[in-house]
């Protein structure tokens, strides 16, 4: 079973996405901000990370930079998740090294398919 780290500061969004992914057969570990995400990554190695771009303590781009500096995490599949769905932000996210981009709101099959894609490496 694959483990997904879900970083989102919005509790209801985080809980809903966790339920969707757990029902699809994934183990989900939750983080509420950038610092919590980095702490979680030091104690465990998830198979993929869904990272909100707008966290209260640091943005997702800064979290991504810190993660990619750690050789152990350099190849961790990471998807940018955001509610601001602007094409320029998607381009910036993908150019910055995110492996995928997901705009909120999304339908449950979208997030499940994205996570399956991330963990399969395809």
- CATH number at 71 reads 3.40.50.2300
Q: What is the pTM of this model?
A: 0.94
- CA-to-CA dists, residue 11 to 6, 17, 55, 103, angstroms: 11, 10, 12, 17
Which pLDDT does position 89 carry in this prediction? 83
What pLDDT, in 10s, does the model give residues 84-111?
Answer: 766 688 889 999 999 999 998 899 999 9
In whole angstroms, give the CA distance from residue 57 to residue 59.
7
Number of domains the chain contains: 1
Which pLDDT does position 117 carry in this prediction? 96
Element (H, E) at 31: strand 27-31
Which DSSP category does 69 fall into? T
- CA-to-CA dists, residue 31 to 51, 61, 95, 96, 109, angstroms: 9, 16, 24, 21, 22
Element (H, E) at 65: helix 60-68
Which pLDDT does position 85 carry in this prediction? 65
With a cut of 50, list the residues of the chain below it in pLDDT: none
Range of the domain at 96: 3-120
In whole angstroms, give the CA distance from residue 8 to residue 17.
10
Which pLDDT does position 1 carry in this prediction? 85
């Amino acid at each position: 079973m694959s483990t997904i780290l879900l970083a989102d500061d919005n509790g209801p969004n985080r809980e809903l996405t966790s339920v969707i992914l757990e029902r699809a057969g994934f183990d989900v570990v939750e983080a509420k901000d950038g610092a919590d995400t980095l702490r979680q990554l030091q104690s465990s190695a998830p198979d993929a990370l869904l990272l909100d771009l707008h966290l209260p303590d640091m943005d997702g781009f800064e979290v991504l930079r810190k993660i990619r500096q750690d050789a152990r995490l350099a190849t961790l599949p990471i998807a940018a998740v955001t509610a601001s769905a602007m094409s320029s932000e998607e381009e910036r996210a993908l150019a910055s090294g995110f492996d995928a981009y997901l705009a909120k709101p999304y339908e449950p099959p979208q997030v499940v398919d994205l996570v399956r894609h991330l963990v399969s490496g395809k």
